[in-house]
Amino acid sequence: MPADPSSGPAGKTPKTPARSAGSHQRSAVAHPARAAATSAVEVRRSTRRRKSVTAYREGDRTIVLIPARMSQAEERRWVGVMLDKLAAQESKRHLGDTELGERAARLSAQYFDGRARPASVRWVTNQNTRWGSCTPAEGSIRLSHRLQGMPEYVVDYVLLHELAHLLVPGHGPDFWRLLEAYPRTERARGFLEGVVAAEGLPRLPAAREE
């Protein structure tokens, strides 16, 4: 489903020559930080598009439509915004408890060699001051419903965080070494820190807490 938030004015200094009305210019853009979310990103510039930015999935590609006069810096920023928005929509639409458990199993296999094996993984509505919790003795993982609608990589990080607690109880060096395997750890923590700051919630555990 296309996402089409209002954007600010296009850049004043054109980086791409304008073409005849209605023309499009396509470019493939590499975004390593989001490589797992989609295999390819294609940016299409249009002289008909003045301010709005739109993104949608097309097979195994993500198409991002932007104004032709938008600068390269603005392009990079808006591609990132739209990828996060699509990921959030898909996460909210598809991840029920069953899918959450399946996702946890895949993440454990990919990053922890399958060693973290939760007995249950589910959403809960009674965790408003933390994103997730784990009871190692029971093998249970619970994620706050507040994560629903956040970007997929953020949900994955919280899942991995709680999966890691099945292997290492505290937040010591061994725990953070486990999470180093996930390439989006810092980015996901930054996203959540932004939410925490905006809502006045308790801070996340320090990344190198002893």
Give percent of the chain with pLDDT exceeding 90.
40
Instruction: Tell me the residue length of the chain.
Output: 210
For 63-75, what is the mean pLDDT?
91
How sure is the predictor about 37, in pLDDT bands with cuts at 50, 70 and 90? very low
pLDDT above 70 covers a percentage of the chain that reads: 72
pLDDT grade for 115, boundaries at 50, 70 and 90: very high
The Cα–Cα gap between 203 and 145 comes to 18
Cα(200)–Cα(187) distance, rounded to whole angstroms? 20
Q: How far is residue 44 from each of residues 66, 83, 116, 186, measured CA to CA in Å?
A: 6, 15, 42, 30
Listed by start position, the domains of the chain span 39-91, 95-197
User: How much is the pTM?
Assistant: 0.56
DSSP assignment of 9-56 equals PPPSS-SS---STT-EEEEEE--GGGTTT-SEEEEEEESS-SS--EEE
CATH placement of domain 95-197: 3.30.2010.10
Per-residue pLDDT tens over the stretch 155-197: 999 999 999 999 998 999 999 999 999 999 998 998 888 888 7
Return the pLDDT at 117: 95
Q: Chain-wide mean pLDDT for the chain?
A: 78
Tell whether the model's pLDDT for residue 4 goes beyond 80: no
- pLDDT for residue 57: 77
Which is higher by pLDDT, 27 or 141?
A: 141
Of 14-18, 76-80, 150-154, the range with the highest mean pLDDT is: 76-80
